Chain A
Amino acid sequence: AQKVTQAQTEISVVEKEDVTLDCVYETRDTTYYLFWYKQPPSGELVFLIRRNSFDEQNEISGRYSWNFQKSTSSFNFTITASQVVDSAVYFCALSEATRDDKIIFGKGTRLHILP
């Protein structure tokens, strides 16, 4: 079955702290994509990253980093030195080539960065 689990419903941290958002996925496909999206209060989805199943290299983009581990079916997202503007809902998602690239979203983690 295709499934994405974000166990953390809501997280609050003080500004400048590091925070990691967890994502665990399930799939039977060998070819799939994993995503992270940010949804600020405006509602518009902001694309953060897409990673294919054959590329397990970790990625860093500024204060953002992602850790992809196929052995544990996890694709965790870390924000370093968090800022108030990082406050949003973050969705982890999965798509499978055999399912016409339909994107299945996790339930999201609401992140509050406190000043």
Chain B
Amino acid sequence: NAGVTQTPKFQVLKTGQSMTLQCAQDMNHEYMSWYRQDPGMGLRLIHYSVGAGITDQGEVPNGYNVSRSTTEDFPLRLLSAAPSQTSVYFCASSYSVSAGGPWEQFFGPGTRLTVL
């Protein structure tokens, strides 16, 4: 299994540009999520999904869009990039949380995004 994969690993954007961060998992996990990591802030939840066709907002959703058309993929779209979105972005997945249990979240390698 490849686990959770993210592309690209690094990206530089200009203010106002749009782009999509890709995330895929091959573990048949129902739950997927996106976090951003900023210095001194830990990881903060952007959006999450509990299954195909179901998404919801996390703590810091503004400026980001998501969709979940398949179990495997959960792309994150930046609609109009701003310098405040300079961050490291992590995608994560886990088994169904509705089934209970301390299911571990598996993280992708992260994408370092710089917005100029």
A in complex with B: no
Spell out B's residues near A (CB within 8 Å): none
Spell out A's residues near B (CB within 8 Å): none
